[in-house]
Amino acid sequence: MAYVLHQLLTESTQRHPEAEAVRLLDEALTYAELEKLSNQIAHLLIANGVRPGDRVGIYLKKSPSAIASIFGIMKTGACYVPVDANAPGMRLLEIGRQCAFRALITSHAL
């Protein structure tokens, strides 16, 4: 059976909800937490006009939350465009202009 990546997350959540899905140093998310957070991100993006085929920028440092953002974007049918969190702001603006981001996921720190 063919799957798309976010469907495998949902299936894994059903089978192993409390198992650790992603970890970076002392930050971790279980499958259930990753599924819940990615669903929240997907709903927020849709509520803000993101549609299938749109491009959504991810301007975050490597983290479990960044992984949840990737899954959330995929659940909308949009595609994600990762932008190096160490890139200067002008580079982000140029990538956003060229890719025509519908939305950008970032943090207050960036």
What is the pLDDT, as a whole number, of residue 89?
81
Q: What does the pLDDT look like over 78-110, one tens digit per residue?
A: 999 999 988 888 888 899 899 999 999 998 887
Q: What does the pLDDT look like over 61-86, one tens digit per residue?
A: 999 999 999 999 999 999 999 999 88
- Mean of the pLDDT values across residues 32-49? 97
Distances (CA, A) of 109 to 19, 33, 59, 60: 29, 23, 11, 9
What is the pLDDT, as a whole number, of residue 27?
94
Q: What does the pLDDT look like over 9-21, one tens digit per residue?
A: 888 889 999 999 9
- Mean of the pLDDT values across residues 28-53? 97
What is the pLDDT, as a whole number, of residue 2?
56
Q: Which pTM value belongs to this model?
A: 0.90
Q: Percentage of the chain with pLDDT > 90?
A: 75
Please answer whether residues 103 and 47 qualify as being in contact, where contact means their C-beta atoms are separated by less than 8 angstroms: no
